[in-house]
Structure 1
């Protein structure tokens, strides 16, 4: 701790290394080209909120960044119009999109996924293992042990959501809720199971010397090694490691996760799927609250999704993200009534050469410093 100068000069501080640019996210060398063979998702004549008959073309199978000052119309274009319009076009359920004239190219997309920082669950029962479907596979492993078979335990015995194997004192939550008037609820460890969620008989069943409660308390990086010979479990765990979440516990309650952690768990779930081509991923300011190192991991994941044949569309103010994009659509020139227009489109290098673009001015300075 200390002044910014103290942090900047501290040899062991990761933050300090980024501040003094000893560590930094290096700009990608060759961008994915946009040419006559590129396919586009186009929405025409959008007049949602302050948008002034905007027609926007989003190149598919690319990393696209929508930029602009606050109030320029980014969310109006992407979240309130484009996303619901495409979802409805594909037969999904969504809020009514804002007014627009025509939508082209939606047939080249199979699904739309909005990846935000909302919690993956709102109770202690939800955790990374349940969200990624790992917990079902872990329960199968324990049900196949010799001890479980001798006792007649089936897979349901190892669930903390149903009677039988769970601690009934806390009903498998591991904590007890204390309702606080006019304050957030308070959770305290269950005195009966001491936070383990299961009863004594269930905990007596071991796999490689560990009970199911022990497994849920493992760090994800340790669990990946523990289940290295179980592909159905190891694959999703590797995805969690790739987004930098190896430090979380496998059974860590979702109520204790930050928005950035929840977002990366959602991305890990997508990475763990064996096939997810032609998906449009939409993220609204995904770097909010993230450390420099976490932003680097996030960008690597987003580019990985594009390399798999998907499209990534990001609304962002972060210059690292803008500079990493294949294509930028910049709205403005100002906010509110003085915004709602497309100022410029192009590669980050193109946008950086446009003096009328507020984004371009700052992007030019940023990229020159990076290079």
Structure 2
């Protein structure tokens, strides 16, 4: 009767399914229409929330395991509203992740509905539009790491905006719609003065054939609503095309043409964790630990005991803790339950045996410290103490410039947030000539405070100043407003997207009537 089977129905995107459902009652005999209308309206009520949350591009048979964290969280939110709970406390951890500003409106609507039904909602977020819509704000700080952990302001949004110690207050004024330019704007006439990367593609998923020009030596941001094709265009076509061009290999079938003469390196900087090895720490990843091992091996204490740099390794060295084998933790076997990892009782998490405390290095403040002691310090705390060690000083200064000064050197890299991991991956690239390099960032502002976004923009400036071409997939309006060049995808998600709606300077996109992103740039 319906003219479609279940497999065909579930293979459709939510947008397609809604259009089909609306046509169902009229296609049925008169005596069935009332019942069909009631069923279809119930479906549309549920689907409406998913559409408002920017999930119209998902197919109904999409496996839950393939959803991103943000997508999964939004599906759970829509289900909660549908169930009409009351008296429930909902805790949302960064629900705005991966959301275009247009979809944030839908998110706020869902949260208001939960509250209206008698529930309580606690949100951990950095998006100023989300924060400006809250009934009560609790601001933690004043900084990250050991210097944070304090409530520095709380109350209604108006109260926090006038609190003297608030860090978020300047970004909350005007309802969180401040998108000031922190970088000099390049005229469109001079945009491609350093060359261009030219890309032509075939149809990929829901993205139509594209013709894209990306200016070299500039900051290019790819924007658009969720599901508009940003990831497909950048990560599934541009990056493979550039890599094949650099390696001299055959381009994927989705690529019709790639013209990128002079591009020799493509670096994808995403938020995936830096390994799963607990032995990897901030110090080992950025190379500071190797420099420190060499410095300690030169001390008189080490010479007396004939200790070489290898002895100071907590992976294989003789000074590592034998109880935890240099990991800083031990695993307890709990019967009938998963194993529990606890801090090593002998080294207390330092990863070193007691004998390592006997080997000391005199620091710039004339105090002799052991390597385990130094590994417990943050980057900013260690910088003045080891100013006399040039390799260490340079690496620590880079971490500080990347906004990672609060991290301790002994912090395991798998425990870092996505934003921290992205910036740490950049540490080895900073300060080099990058004229033949393309750096691609996938939503680097995830989990970042507006002040951290300003730090990130300075990082982009540093890369561009060294000659690199920077391409960023982003929803954050402050990053979008500070781009040299914008490529706005859309206009919608799924089959309603997959096209370049507008491209040019942020001012060009702001003035484009067809651009959803431009509408939010206008405020």
**Under a length normalisation based on structure 2, what TM-score does the superposition of the two structures give?**
0.65
Q: Aligned-pair distance for 1:6?
A: 3.5
The one-character-per-residue Cα deviations of 1:134-178 (angstroms, maximum 9, x if unpaired) are 111110000011110111000011000004111111001111134
Give the stretch that moved more between structures: 199-208 or 181-190: 181-190
Residue 160 to residue 117, structure 1, CA distance change in 2 (3 Å): same
The one-character-per-residue Cα deviations of 1:217-253 (angstroms, maximum 9, x if unpaired) are 1110111111111111111110111122111111111
Match in the other structure for 1:228: 387
Residue 66 of structure 1 pairs with residue 222 of structure 2: yes
Spell out the pairing of 1:99-248 with structure 2 (5 A cutoff). Answer: 99-105=254-260, 107-178=261-332, 186-208=340-362, 209-248=368-407
Mapped to 1, the partners of 2:177 and 2:493 lie a distance apart of 34
Residue 349 to residue 184, structure 1, CA distance change in 2 (3 Å): farther
Match in the other structure for 1:320: 478
Match of residue 207, structure 2, among 48, 51, 57: 51
Contact 1:47 1:100 in 2 (8 A): no
Contact 2:356 2:372 in 1 (8 A): no
Mapped to 1, the partners of 2:158 and 2:332 lie a distance apart of 43
Long gaps (5+) in structure 2:
1-137, 139-154, 363-367
Residue 76 to residue 174, structure 1, CA distance change in 2 (3 Å): same
Three-state SS of the structure 1 residue aligned to 2:201 is strand
Q: Aligned-pair distance for 1:184?
A: 7.7
Match of residue 311, structure 1, among 457, 465, 469: 469
Mapped to 2, the partners of 1:25 and 1:349 lie a distance apart of 12
Residue 46 to residue 236, structure 1, CA distance change in 2 (3 Å): farther
Residue 144 to residue 346, structure 1, CA distance change in 2 (3 Å): same
Q: Aligned-pair distance for 1:23?
A: 12
Mapped to 2, the partners of 1:183 and 1:338 lie a distance apart of 48
Radius of gyration: which is bigger?
2
Residue 33 to residue 97, structure 1, CA distance change in 2 (3 Å): farther
Match in the other structure for 1:280: 438
Match in the other structure for 1:292: 450
Long gaps (5+) in structure 1:
366-371
Three-state SS of the structure 2 residue aligned to 1:47 is coil
Higher relative helix content: 2
Q: Aligned-pair distance for 1:103?
A: 0.6
Give the stretch that moved more between structures: 5-14 or 245-254: 5-14
**Under a length normalisation based on structure 1, what TM-score does the superposition of the two structures give?**
0.91
Aligned Cα root-mean-square deviation (Å): 2.4
Residue 76 of structure 1 pairs with residue 232 of structure 2: yes
Three-state SS of the structure 1 residue aligned to 2:258 is strand
Mapped to 2, the partners of 1:311 and 1:263 lie a distance apart of 17
Contact 2:433 2:467 in 1 (8 A): no
Residue 320 to residue 23, structure 1, CA distance change in 2 (3 Å): closer
Q: Aligned-pair distance for 1:38?
A: 3.6
Three-state SS of the structure 2 residue aligned to 1:101 is strand
Contact 2:314 2:321 in 1 (8 A): yes
Where relative contact order (Cα < 8 A, 6+ residues apart) is larger, the structure is 1
Mapped to 2, the partners of 1:8 and 1:180 lie a distance apart of 49
Contact 1:64 1:314 in 2 (8 A): yes
Mapped to 1, the partners of 2:244 and 2:480 lie a distance apart of 29
Mapped to 2, the partners of 1:80 and 1:247 lie a distance apart of 35
Mapped to 2, the partners of 1:288 and 1:92 lie a distance apart of 34
Q: Aligned-pair distance for 1:24?
A: 6.6
Match of residue 415, structure 2, among 242, 256, 260: 256
Mapped to 2, the partners of 1:182 and 1:305 lie a distance apart of 52
* Count of aligned pairs between the two proteins: 362
Mapped to 2, the partners of 1:231 and 1:70 lie a distance apart of 46
Contact 1:17 1:23 in 2 (8 A): no
Contact 1:80 1:98 in 2 (8 A): no
Match in the other structure for 1:266: 425
Mapped to 2, the partners of 1:80 and 1:179 lie a distance apart of 43
Mapped to 1, the partners of 2:248 and 2:183 lie a distance apart of 38
Give the stretch that moved more between structures: 328-337 or 153-162: 328-337
Mapped to 1, the partners of 2:414 and 2:163 lie a distance apart of 33
Mapped to 2, the partners of 1:19 and 1:91 lie a distance apart of 47
Mapped to 1, the partners of 2:469 and 2:282 lie a distance apart of 25
Match in the other structure for 1:27: 181
